[in-house]
Structure 1
Amino acid sequence: MPRTPESYEDVDLDDAPPLQPVHYAEQALLGALLLDPHRLETITTLEPGHFGNPAHGALFAAMRTGPAPDPELHIKDPAWLNTVLDAARPEAPGLNASYLHTLIQVCPWPQHAATYARMIRADHARRMLRMHAESLAQTAADATLPNPAVAVIAQVDTLTRYLEDLAGQFAPHPGSLPRTPLLPPPPRDTDEEALDEERLLLASATAHPNELKTMRWLEADDFALPLHGQLFLCLTSLAHRGDPVDAITVLWEAQHRGLLTTDVAPADLMALVSTPVGSPEHWGERILHRALLRQAHAVAGRIETFTDDPANTPHQLITGSRRALADLTALRARWQRTAPQPPSTARPRAPRTPVSSRAGPLPRAAAPATAARATR
């Protein structure tokens, strides 16, 4: 007959209500093992660190410190229970004999111990995936790093390896995509430095359009300001068609693309592309660098949203996270195309730091005030 959980209060083990389902799975597993210690032999993939409650993890670790007792002797003599309790107390002082008996009482079916263990592993996977996503978001936002793009790529590789490990631990099932509603992506970084770099790219590309033919790694969506991205498309279209490129031809192309509005006058647009400084490739790399960090932050937020939804199974978390990483993987590939091919090696290439000799220190945009207004 299954045991029915009774009403009880834990002894200094719960941080704050309400208790989550995994708490009861942890209690049920520990109760099953206290009743039938020989079942420890079937719980081989579970580790103490998988438990959400540290006291539960300490108790599980204590159970594995020595051999399981003889089943017949265990029924008559609680010596093994006392040994486990003494071994766990240094890590979990709040544990007492009363709580061990509570664990035994609330275990519905000791035969279901392996299932309870899978539940605990699944919840641990959710917590760890969120931790990886948070680490990615923090790295993407850390302005103190000497090369944030390299650090972000390293975090992405770590996250990808973790997802691969999880895929081997949890079986797939129908309905693999998360059904969690996603929040809108965060707003793009439109601070003055980012906009200056985009203005300088447009102006320098107008002055040196031949370089655009080798900059297929940069796309309009990489720009912080959509207008700047559309003007970049104007420039690349002219260059790839072999048409002349100057402020007037760019204006004409922009008109055909419907970019001239009451806020963007022809004179403003021509002023925007008429103050070249440095190399288009230099500014393009800066823009792509910002886009990589922005996309990494957005991907991290998306994965965090998945992990916040307890309805998602581990397989759904894996599938949703891989889908979220796909766009970042494509952008990363474009970023790596801006670096020279490294020597033959199995390791991925590390992005290079833009060479400062291409262009001097970042100046303020020399465009008239009307052009500055047009890009806001």
Structure 2
Amino acid sequence: MPQPNIPDADFDLLDVPPAPAGHYAEQALLGALLLEPDRLKTLGILHPADFANAAHLAVFHAMTALTPPPPNVHTRKPVWLTAVLEHARPAARGLTASYLHQLASTCPEPAHAPAYAAIVRAGHARRTLTAHAEHLVHTAGDPMLEDQPTAALTAADTLAGVLDHLADRFPAHTSPLPRTPAPAHPVRDPDHEDVQDERLLLAALCAHPRPTEAARWLQPGDFLDPLHGRLFGCLLNVARRGDPIDPVTVLWEAQHQGLITPALPPAELLGMLTDGHGVATEHWAEVVLRRAMLARAHTTGLTVLAYTQDDTNTFHQLLAGTRRALADLAAVRARWHRATGPTLPRTTQSAGPAPPRAGPVPPRPTATTRAPR
């Protein structure tokens, strides 16, 4: 089977520890093949890289590169063991004949080699998903990357491609989701710039004649500050009712939603919703959505890691859980692409895609135009 077209990444699967039972399955498989080399034909698709142990990888590579001796020769002379040792030793210098004898002695039943091979494949699949999930977590959490959204989504695409490739190596099987609790969405305390960006957007939406169109990609959960998300929900409620939108009407809805408290008086809430005239609404909406998309990509990687690090999950459970996590990311990703991708001209649908809205980034308003905190 051809290998998937996957970009090189800065990780080595030999650095990912195997599940406890995987090591013994590798030993049992190699022992079976030392005892009965013809069992190589019964394993299905198995690659040397599927082994977690470097010495085991070298031994299996030697077995696949050599021609097994005839059965009558194999039963009388240790030519197979000697040939495997000589071929594997340059890649595994600590390998000894005594260890190969140990592998043969620890194999419970050579006829079970296909079952041992399936365990080895499953271990490789788990380690592969772990490595790519770690790469996604690192990419989505590294603000120093150039074009971080594209890098994070590329890492997610790579994870999805690897998942599909691995699934082809296993029989189709329906499975429930992993029982492992998914990690909570990381809560990051918004810094001053985050707070100001979100308040600036809320004020701009209140001043916008058609706020639901300007923020058609956003959801309340996209805001870092939960209060800002609830205020955004209040604005959407007013818009859905068809009522006029301005800071006072949104404040009225906020009162009905229980947002006005002694610790958060109406004057402070009103201040968050005013002075948004002239603000580039779509730009700041994209800023908020960009943070939400990267946060979801980060959570997706953490979720897959939690699944792969729980040894009680079968591969098919990992498959189902990873696909669910990627689907959650896809929902935010679709909104991100609608926000940043090309749009069709309003005058005709046959004129072809219009250029993206990319242009000079609107300057961040000065302190005098920011909404009061």
TM-score range, shorter chain: 0.7 to 0.9
Structure 1 segment 3-14 matched on structure 2, within 5 A: none
What does residue 317 of structure 2 align with? Answer: 316
- Deviates further, 175-184 or 73-82: 175-184
Please report how far the alpha carbon of residue 323 of structure 1 lies from its aligned counterpart in structure 2 after TM superposition: 1.2
What residue number does 1:248 align with?
248
CA contact (8 A) 1:34 1:81 kept: yes
Deviation above 6 Å: which 4+ runs of structure 1?
none
Flag structure 1 segments of 5+ consecutive residues without an equivalent.
Answer: 1-13, 344-348, 372-376
Aligned pairs, number: 348
1:273 CA displacement: 1.4
Is contact 1:125-1:166 (8 Å) kept? Answer: yes
2-structure distance, mates of 1:18, 1:264: 52
Residue in 1 that maps onto 2:73: 73
Aligned position for 1:337: 338
Which one is further off, 198-207 or 236-245? 236-245
Q: Give the letter aligned to residue 253 of structure 2.
A: E
* Letter aligned with residue 37 of structure 1: P
SS in 2 for 1:278: coil
Cα distance in 2, alignment partners of residues 312 and 257 from structure 1: 42
| 2:238 corresponds to | 238
Pair 266,224 (structure 1): closer, same or farther in 2 beyond 3 Å: same
SS in 2 for 1:337: helix
Aligned to 2:260: 260
Q: Secondary structure at the match of 1:245?
A: coil
Pairs within 5 Å for 1:173-252: 173=173, 175-252=175-252
CA distance in 2, matches of 1:27, 1:118: 13
Q: What residue in structure 2 maps to residue 39 of structure 1?
A: 39
Letter in 2 for 1:97: A
Question: Matches of 1:240 and 1:363 in 2, distance apart?
Answer: 32
Alignment partner, residue 364 of structure 2:
361
Q: Residues 36 and 110 of structure 1 are in contact (CA less than 8 Å); yes or no, is this contact kept in structure 2?
A: yes
> 3-state DSSP class of the match of 1:338?
helix
Tell me the TM-score normalized by structure 2.
0.87
Q: Residues 107 and 336 (structure 1 numbering): CA distance in 2 closer, same or farther, change over 3 Å? A: same
One-letter amino acid of the structure 1 residue matched with residue 318 of structure 2: L
Aligned to 2:8: none
For the residue of structure 1 that corresponds to 2:75, the secondary structure is helix
**Native 8 Å contact 1:213 1:240 kept in 2:** no
CA deviation string 1:145-191 (max 9, x = no partner): 22111111111111111222222222354652211133332113512
Q: Is the 8 A contact 1:152 1:296 kept in 2?
A: yes
Task: Give the secondary-structure state (helix, strand or coil) at the position aligned to 1:356.
Answer: coil
The 5-angstrom pairing of residues 47-66 of structure 1 reads 47-66=47-66
Q: Structure 1 residues 68, 363: CA separation in 2 closer, same or farther (over 3 Å shift)? A: farther
Residue of structure 1 in register with 2:282 after alignment: 281
d(CA) in 2 for partners of 1:331, 1:18: 33
- CA-based RMSD: 2.5
Shift of residue 236 of structure 1?
Answer: 2.6
- Asked if 1:298 corresponds to 2:299, the answer is yes
In structure 1, the partner of 2:329 is 328
**Structure-1-length-normalised TM-score:** 0.86
Query: Structure 2: which 5+ runs fail to align?
Result: 1-13, 345-352
Partner of 1:10: none
Instruction: Please name the residue that 2:4 is paired with.
Output: none
C-alpha change, 1:275 and 1:89, in structure 2 (3 Å) is same
